[in-house]
């Protein structure tokens, strides 16, 4: 199997993400001049399929290596969705299929190709089922990249992004629509607002996660000295190992755009792995 065609798609995608945004999309992307009405495009229907011949091996983009998983069962995550359009319409995806912006599809960095997920807009409650057949997104704190049709049905075309929950679904399997929230402990910070159970999603920027309290405290003090905040440390238990971890977070932040700007500020401080967290 050769990765050259798939990686060409990835490189083109990253180049698009580096352009200047214009409204809900990048200046060299977006919808066609007279796009068809996609409001009635049905959800993708999960079915048993063989794995794609390409797109399922480890790959590296911008110096980071991703390891696609073999099985999507049990996957559920919250984050930010974006969408991609005419610039990539008809081009080959990482799975080898042509991208159809008017079909219910999506790109994800590590889920199997193909697989199926339900994407729920946490702001308005709308949801769609899409077939994952491409890789990405790789920039700007994004979790999943949706087709134009899926983004339209979720109501995020105009803004370009949406706060979502993504859950893998299997043919014939029941779907749990509400995400479980882990039990966490907020460790004192004079500036940080306490976490509360809220009906709307809350966004934070995570600057780092540490196994040692002193390292987490050092990061918090460094960020506060740089004038960034409010900063707090969240203590939680690592699901796989059972070890205690300390997450250094800033927020809440008001919007995805505010989180992007804060991530850029953190990068300027040498914190290169900062990313948005949706709870």
pLDDT digits (tens, 9 = 90+) for 137-147: 998 789 999 99
pLDDT digits (tens, 9 = 90+) for 178-203: 333 344 454 444 444 444 444 689 99
Q: For residue 26, what are the β-bridge partners?
A: 21
pTM value is 0.81
Distance between CA atoms of residues 140 and 11, nearest Å: 15
As a dihedral over the C-alpha atoms of residue 241, residue 247, residue 251, residue 255, rounded to 10 degrees, the angle is -50
Left (φ > 0), alpha (ψ -120 to 50) or beta: where does 251 sit? left
**Is the domain of 127 the same as that of 200?**
no
Helix (H, G, I), strand (E, B) or coil at 38: coil
Confidence band of 21 (pLDDT split at 50, 70, 90)? very low
pLDDT digits (tens, 9 = 90+) for 221-262: 999 999 998 999 999 998 878 899 999 999 999 999 999 999
**Is the domain of 268 the same as that of 158?**
no
For residue 51, what pLDDT is reported? Answer: 96
Q: Containing domain of residue 118, as a range?
A: 4-169
249 lies in a domain? Answer: yes
238 lies in a domain? Answer: yes
Alpha helices for the chain (secondary structure H)? 4-17, 148-154, 213-225, 256-268
The single-letter DSSP state of residue 74 is: T
Distance between CA atoms of residues 30 and 110, nearest Å: 25
176 lies in a domain? Answer: no
Measured CA angle at 168 (ends 239, 79), to 5 deg: 70
Check: CB of residue 219 under 8 Å from CB of residue 212. no
């Amino acid at each position: 199997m050769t990765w050259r065609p798939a990686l060409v798609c990835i490189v083109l995608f990253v180049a698009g993400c580096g352009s200047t945004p214009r409204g809900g999309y990048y200046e060299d992307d977006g919808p066609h001049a007279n796009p068809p009405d996609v409001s009635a495009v049905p959800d993708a229907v999960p079915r048993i399929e063989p794995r794609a011949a390409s797109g399922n091996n480890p790959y590296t983009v911008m110096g980071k290596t991703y390891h696609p998983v073999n099985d999507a069962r049990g996957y559920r995550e919250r984050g930010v969705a974006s969408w991609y359009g005419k610039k990539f319409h008809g081009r080959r995806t990482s799975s080898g299929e042509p991208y159809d912006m008017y079909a219910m599809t999506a790109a994800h960095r590590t889920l199997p190709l193909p697989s199926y997920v339900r994407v729920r807009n946490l702001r308005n409650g709308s949801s769609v089922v899409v077939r994952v057949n491409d890789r990405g997104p790789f920039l700007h704190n994004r979790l999943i990249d949706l087709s134009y049709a899926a983004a339209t049905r979720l109501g995020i075309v105009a803004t370009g992004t949406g706060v979502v929950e993504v859950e893998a679904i299997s043919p014939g399997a029941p779907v749990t629509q509400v995400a479980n929230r882990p039990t966490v402990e907020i460790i004192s910070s004079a500036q940080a607002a306490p976490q509360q159970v809220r009906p709307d999603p809350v966004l934070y920027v995570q600057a780092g996660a540490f196994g040692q309290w002193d390292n987490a405290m050092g990061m918090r003090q460094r960020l506060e000295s740089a004038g960034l905040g409010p900063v707090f440390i969240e203590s939680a238990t690592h699901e796989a190992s059972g070890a205690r971890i300390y997450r250094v977070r800033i927020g809440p932040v008001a919007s995805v755009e505010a989180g992007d700007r804060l991530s850029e500020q953190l990068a300027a401080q040498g914190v290169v792995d900062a990313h948005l967290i949706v709870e």
